[in-house]
Structure 1
Amino acid sequence: MQNVIETDALCKRYGSHLVVDHLALTVPEGCVYGFLGPNGAGKSTTMKMLLGLVHPTGGTVRLLGREMTDANRLALLRQTGSLIESPSGYLHLTARENLEIVADLKGVPHKDIARVLDIVQLTNDQHRKVGQYSLGMKQRLGIAMALLGSPKLLVLDEPTNGLDPAGIQEMRELIRTMPTATGATVLISSHLLGEMEQMVEQVGIIDHGRMLFEGPLTELQRHSKGALTLRLLHPAKALPVLQANGLPTAAVGEDNTIALPPLRDDLLAGLVQALADSGAGVVGLTQHTRTLEEIFLTLTAPKEVG
């Protein structure tokens, strides 16, 4: 299995401002890769460099196993589909008419239109004018345009922005199944960790143009585990158990709750069993998820020595 995207020391500078700072990005074939970071972190600029829309100040981009150059850029991009910023389309034309125009521009047979309409679930609405579409339907049409010609790589820049909850759910389902349904590897950007967790397998976190973390989602989730809240019937009986396990005995809060730091699953299971045996009566356990900003602080905190 090759990497579909590899960047080495990729940089983009605007004046004195280094927007992308020696970025090393690795996207394995056949996955949905979440490119995560706050607004202004450099995500869109990186994606535009991957698509040849912005020229790098330094470093290299490899797509589909080949280093992108001026000579091979168009050949590589023919195997790539993208939806950057808002979806484009002629509002006075139907979805099918819009797809016919894009197919002609890409040199793709019109018979491929039925396939992509089916993938994005717009077959029944293909003859409606795009001006009558909801934002979610327009986003799905934009993805259908990107899928014409069966690209090996799909690049999506914050495709759930502005969608209502139903539209977000539809988009999640669509993106999650994309590698299986189309054979395309997907690179998707977002600034929302909770949204990404429901779609992706691999994650890269960028901040101020630098990669802070790259790896499996399961590894990131280890960093995202925040404080625990225990709700007990008899909090006083829990305090000796917490002390015996080396945990801080914080004050008992409202509804007989006690706050605890994040714990490994095996330690947490043992603690809950010990609390049950003590008669403390565990009636609730809530694992809080750190915000993206809190994860950044965890990832960038100085490592303790010794």
Structure 2
Amino acid sequence: MKPVIETHGLCKSYGGRTVVDHLDLTVPQGCVYGFLGPNGAGKSTTMKMLLGLVHPTGGSVELLGHTLNEENRIGLLRQTGSLIESPSGYLHLTARENLAIAADLKGVERRDIDRVLDVVHLTSAANRKVGQYSLGMKQRLGIATALLGSPKLLILDEPTNGLDPAGIQEMRSLIAAMPESTGATVLISSHLLGEMEQMVSQVGILNHGKLLFEGPLAALQRHARGGVLLRVLDAQRAAAVLQAQGIRAVTRPVQPDTLELPPMPDEALAALVGALAGSGAGVVGLTSQTKNLEEIFLSLTKGDGEVA
């Protein structure tokens, strides 16, 4: 199945400064793809190039199986919804009236308005003036506008930015369900790496314009494995076993019976526990530590954007 988005060697420079550096991005159909990285990583510039709002310095973009160019840009973007900047609208008009104007501009039937209001959970507030909306409601109205015409692809640039915790949670649930509720593939960017775990299935991590990681969220587990905390009855005897096997352990001063081991495969850990038990060290506790996405990001970078 052809990816919804593919970029090949995509580059963008401003005044000699490279913002996006030979980016090869692949977004499979039917997923929520988390485009992650700190502010200034190049995420927004990439999204604008995907929408034809910014011309690349080099490389190419494929949307919905077609190379994006000036001839087909309008046709492809009719099948793409986006929310790049903060949502705008007429504050003195209702949500329904705002959507009617957007539908007319897009050449979409107004009967689509009820559907998109339902998708973003604004049906009950459809006849309220947008000036009375919270920021989260305005963001959802912006997404509803992007969904008019049933686009195959939805591009959202930091839609949770500035929301309170309740608004973030609501946005997470809405976006996670989007492929099923609308049929659209979603590309969503964020610098808040931890919050993405609850809504995405595919991940791309960008820093200084370079793609450091891309793949299923589950594939990050190999980067997520942390060290092992091992609690024993005889730390001295356990340390001797570890030294004999060439395993470097760190003793915690406040917990002399606990040894901190480096990450290791499950099979090796099981064999080690067996050896410790046979030596009489007395294993009484074992805890495998895992990293969250922020820690994974730090492990992927050395501060200069290179893979660690």
TM-score computed with the length of structure 2 as normaliser: 0.88
1:178/1:232 CA distance change after superposition, 3 Å: farther
Letter aligned with residue 146 of structure 1: A
- Asked if 2 retains the 8 angstrom alpha-carbon contact of 1:205 and 1:211, the reply is yes
| 1-structure distance, mates of 2:224, 2:290 | 10
- Asked if 2 retains the 8 angstrom alpha-carbon contact of 1:228 and 1:288, the reply is no
2:4 is matched with: 4
| 1-structure distance, mates of 2:176, 2:195 | 12
Compare 258-267 and 153-162 and name the one that shifted more. Answer: 258-267
2:306 is matched with: 300
| 2-structure distance, mates of 1:295, 1:234 | 36
1:282 is matched with: 285
- Match status 1:31 vs 2:31: yes
| 2-structure distance, mates of 1:260, 1:113 | 57
| 1-structure distance, mates of 2:112, 2:273 | 56
| Correspondences of 1:1-306 after superposition (within 5 Å) | 1-230=1-230, 235=235, 238-240=238-240, 242-243=242-243, 246-255=246-255, 257-268=258-269, 278-282=281-285, 285-289=288-292, 290-297=295-302, 300-301=306-307
| 2-structure distance, mates of 1:238, 1:32 | 46
Compare 144-153 and 105-114 and name the one that shifted more. Answer: 105-114
- Asked if 2 retains the 8 angstrom alpha-carbon contact of 1:276 and 1:282, the reply is no
- Asked if 1 retains the 8 angstrom alpha-carbon contact of 2:226 and 2:289, the reply is no
Paired-residue identity, % = 66
SS at match of 1:35: strand
1:192/1:260 CA distance change after superposition, 3 Å: farther
Return the offset for 1:148.
0.7
Return the offset for 1:144.
0.8
| 1-structure distance, mates of 2:85, 2:233 | 51
| 2-structure distance, mates of 1:269, 1:93 | 65
| 2-structure distance, mates of 1:196, 1:275 | 39
Compare 144-153 and 95-104 and name the one that shifted more. Answer: 95-104
Letter aligned with residue 293 of structure 1: L
Compare 34-43 and 262-271 and name the one that shifted more. Answer: 262-271
| 2-structure distance, mates of 1:27, 1:134 | 32
Return the offset for 1:259.
2.5
Letter aligned with residue 296 of structure 1: T
Return the offset for 1:45.
0.2
1:163/1:226 CA distance change after superposition, 3 Å: farther
Q: Deviations over 1:57-92 (max 9, x none)?
A: 222111111111111111100000011131222222
Return the offset for 1:243.
4.0
SS at match of 2:113: helix
| 2-structure distance, mates of 1:74, 1:154 | 15
1:271/1:12 CA distance change after superposition, 3 Å: same
1:246/1:175 CA distance change after superposition, 3 Å: farther
Q: Deviations over 1:228-279 (max 9, x none)?
A: 4455676556435544654322122435543332233444455567667853
TM-score computed with the length of structure 1 as normaliser: 0.88
Compare 285-294 and 155-164 and name the one that shifted more. Answer: 285-294
- Asked if 2 retains the 8 angstrom alpha-carbon contact of 1:236 and 1:280, the reply is no
- Asked if 2 retains the 8 angstrom alpha-carbon contact of 1:108 and 1:149, the reply is yes
SS at match of 2:12: strand
SS at match of 1:155: strand
Return the offset for 1:162.
1.5
Letter aligned with residue 40 of structure 2: G
| 2-structure distance, mates of 1:241, 1:167 | 52
- Asked if 2 retains the 8 angstrom alpha-carbon contact of 1:230 and 1:286, the reply is no
Q: How many residues align?
A: 302
SS at match of 2:93: coil
Compare 131-140 and 10-19 and name the one that shifted more. Answer: 131-140
Letter aligned with residue 306 of structure 2: T
| 1-structure distance, mates of 2:28, 2:146 | 20
